[in-house]
Structure 1
Amino acid sequence: MTTATDCRYDWLAAPDELRACFPLMRVLRPHLNDADDFLQRLQRQAEQGYRLLAAQVGDEVLGLAGCRLQENLLHGRFFYVDDLITREDLRSQGIGDRLLVEARTEALRLGCANLVLDTALGNARGQRFYYRQGLLGIGMHFRQEL
């Protein structure tokens, strides 16, 4: 079984590297239409500082963390984790842990005071994982479709 120590962790930028992430990202974000749509969204988000961290063995993408540098009055300068997923068959092997370690390391390098993420209210498994990682629930996230 593949574990976190078998993987390499890289911030990706090349279109072919990003395209290889689409199948796994689509598990997390099923509304994504296709790989071209995914790449276009990544390009727009990159203009706002979004970067994609991949856990890989060879060319196989096993986990992803999409993050961006932000600043607001609540958190100050912080690193926001938009997307976090590990392949279902490889969960509990330390890959998600290591993705968050790498994100924290980057956040500290960028001078951030906090690492922030949102999760669905129904994502109990994810919430337990985040608590184990030292993240604390501090509020609720609301949205309204327009």
Structure 2
Amino acid sequence: MKPTTIRSLKRVEDWREAYPIMHQLRTHLTEAMYMDLVAEAVNVDRYLLYALYEAEEIAAVVGFKEMTTLYNGRFIWVCDLITDKEKRSLGYGEKLLSFVHEYAREKKIKRVSLSSGLQRKDAHRFYEDKMGYGKTSYVFLKQVSD
């Protein structure tokens, strides 16, 4: 495995650099939509975006935020996690998710939660078998307007 580093993506230029990787997960987003949503999420929801770099090139991206609910108490919600399709199975997703786990421990947060699309069978195996996540619920969605 090549040397890697994990860096916070705080600048607009950083977000734009991460778009080609994030677009592999969020295929419905144009770059303009993505940029607007990241800006709002960062400013309103305390969304954090990090990238794992292989040399000086982004290989994987994770977006997450601290939340509080009655069900979980204080926890980290992983909104987005994607490894470049050309660099999968190299341990980069594991490194980024482990980074999120360590971030949670440093903040004295006991839980990390995420959802994954029903069609993403490989991701489900990764979360359950490799990372030790358990299924705790279904996520439901209702479109209420166009």
Q: TM-score, normalised to structure 1's length? A: 0.92
1:82 Cα deviation after fit: 0.4
Gaps in structure 2 of 5+ consecutive residues: none
Determine the structure 2 residue equivalent to 1:104: 101
Amino acid at match of 1:112: I
Q: Measure, in 1, the Cα distance between the counterparts of 2:70 and 2:89.
A: 35
Total equivalences in the alignment: 142
The equivalent position to 1:133 in structure 2, one of 126, 131, 134, is: 131
- Indicate whether 1:29 and 2:63 are aligned: no
* Mean Cα deviation higher: 83-92 or 56-65: 56-65
- Indicate whether 1:39 and 2:35 are aligned: yes
2:45 is paired with a residue whose SS is coil
Q: Measure, in 2, the Cα distance between the counterparts of 1:69 and 1:143.
A: 21
2:133 is paired with a residue whose SS is coil
Aligned-pair identity in percent equals: 25
Report if the CA contact (8 A) 1:97-1:133 is conserved: yes
Q: Measure, in 1, the Cα distance between the counterparts of 2:69 and 2:17.
A: 33
Give CA-to-partner distance per residue, 1:3-36, whole Å, 9 cap, x none: 3x521101210111111001111110011112x3
1:111 Cα deviation after fit: 2.0
Amino acid at match of 1:84: L
Q: Measure, in 1, the Cα distance between the counterparts of 2:55 and 2:125.
A: 30
Give CA-to-partner distance per residue, 1:41-98, whole Å, 9 cap, x none: 1111012010111011344111011000001011110001000000112111110000
Could you list the runs of 4 or more consecutive aligned residues of structure 1 that deviate by over 6 angstroms after TM superposition? none
Q: Measure, in 1, the Cα distance between the counterparts of 2:108 and 2:46.
A: 15
2:108 is paired with a residue whose SS is coil
Q: TM-score, normalised to structure 2's length? A: 0.92
Q: Measure, in 2, the Cα distance between the counterparts of 1:78 and 1:135.
A: 14
Q: Measure, in 2, the Cα distance between the counterparts of 1:122 and 1:24.
A: 19
